[in-house]
Amino acid sequence: MSAPQQRTLFLTTSYPRHPGDFGGHFVRSHAQAEQADGHSVQVLAFGEPTANAECSDPNIEVRWLGGGALFGAPGVLPRLSERRSRLLLLVPAFLRALSALWSSERYDRVIAHFLLLSGWPLGVWFGRRSGAALEVVAHGSDVRLFERLPVWLRLPIARDLAAAGARLRFVSEELRARMARAVSAPELRRYVESQPVGAMPLDLPEVPDREQARRELGIGSDEQVLLIVGRLIEGKRVRVALGAALLLPEARVVVIGSGPLRGELEEKLPETQFLGELSHELCLMWMSAADALVCASRHEGAPTAVREARSLGTPVIAVEAGDLLTWARADEGIWVVGTHG
């Protein structure tokens, strides 16, 4: 008689809403890895689906909790900074999550992506109710948000996670150190420092090699292409990346991503090509075709775009962020510059 199938629940504020959606693709990769191991996988994701969301992965059950304009590109914090009233949209989504909590079946594992909301309090509550092992994956933006919380809130959050036996998984050494500093109680600091570091699995479909990608994208063989990928928000320091790329007057500068800065940047930099949001597959094709990826964000723990570019053999020019400097010491294809300012 075969053993019963292991049940894994993912909680996340970011997940692809349709085939090719770039947002939350690292969470989907993690869910796919669990499913490939023979686990039954269910995802509870904040946000609104598109009409064909159910086609994104037929082997993974996705339940959308809603949240309207609060969730989606360019991210919760930028959307909230644009309009504080959007915080009210969290109420019905949170109530749906609580309804799922009380009606849910038992799980063997609960995996929460992002420390706040998904990990705490929902991950803690789901784990306790199911008696399931809890894993919380901490990324760059949520650890930095945790740091900004008042100490009277940071400490109870950390204590709840520790009391639940949560296994924290940091995507970089730098993020683990930041959270350890943010919890002042010695026992909580030891708890955080004992947690593992491990980047998420990459979702890399078959991508054309550089020559083929350039042919399909209409890029000349002698044309130099510098690529910038990311949300067009202040925290990603896109202006810095563009300033560096435009120092090479002969280069064609291409930007993939959307956000509140796009209109302003397009107006000021008409010589730059802004492609907006592209499917993950098309974005990877541009990475394969580019001469270099330029990244100026300091808020990343283990930048997915950098990892993807290097997996495709594309050089990366970046400022110091997360574990990039450590990576650069072992990878001549990563150049870390301008580490101050």
pLDDT digits (tens, 9 = 90+) for 173-203: 888 999 999 998 999 999 999 999 987 777 7
Q: What is the pLDDT averaged over residues 139-153?
A: 89
Taking 70 as the threshold, does the pLDDT of residue 4 lie above it? no
Q: Report pLDDT digits (tens) over 29-69.
A: 889 888 888 889 999 999 887 665 554 567 788 999 988 77
Taking 80 as the threshold, does the pLDDT of residue 22 lie above it? no
CATH number for the domain formed by residue range(s) 7-193 = 3.40.50.2000
Task: Give the pLDDT band (50/70/90) at residue 227.
Answer: very high
| Segment holding 33, helix H or strand E | helix 25-36
pLDDT at 162: 96
Taking 90 as the threshold, does the pLDDT of residue 146 lie above it? yes
Chain centroid to Cα 267, Å, comes to 28
- CB contact at 8 A, 21 and 68: no
- CB contact at 8 A, 47 and 66: yes
Q: What is the mean pLDDT of the chain?
A: 86
End-to-end CA gap in the chain: 62
Task: Give the pLDDT band (50/70/90) at residue 19.
Answer: low
pLDDT at 52: 54
Taking 70 as the threshold, does the pLDDT of residue 104 lie above it? no
C-alpha dist (Å) from residue 167 to 124, 163, 297? 11, 11, 27
Look up the CATH architecture of domain 210-336.
Answer: 3-Layer(aba) Sandwich (3.40)
Which of residues 84 and 339 earns the better pLDDT score?
Answer: 84
Q: What is the pLDDT averaged over residues 255-269?
A: 90
Phi and psi at 134, nearest 5°, equal -110, 130
C-alpha dist (Å) from residue 96 to 80, 93, 138, 144? 20, 5, 23, 27
Buried b (16+ CB within 10 A) or exposed e, 293-321: bbbbbbbbbbbbbbbbbbebebbbbbbbb
* In the chain, domain spans: 7-193, 210-336
Same fold, 7-193 and 210-336: yes
Q: What is the pLDDT averaged over residues 285-293?
A: 95
pLDDT at 341: 44
Which of these ranges, 42-56, 143-157, 245-259, has the smallest mean pLDDT? Answer: 42-56
| Segment holding 83, helix H or strand E | none
Which of residues 242 and 21 earns the better pLDDT score?
Answer: 242
Taking 80 as the threshold, does the pLDDT of residue 122 lie above it? yes
Q: What is the pLDDT averaged over residues 214-236?
A: 89
Length of the chain counted residue by residue: 341
pLDDT-above-90 percentage for the chain: 43
Taking 50 as the threshold, does the pLDDT of residue 312 lie above it? yes
Dihedral of alpha carbons 72, 34, 111, 147, sign? negative
Specify the pTM.
0.81
- Residues 124 and 303: their CA atoms lie apart, in Å, by 27
Dihedral of alpha carbons 270, 273, 275, 280, sign? negative
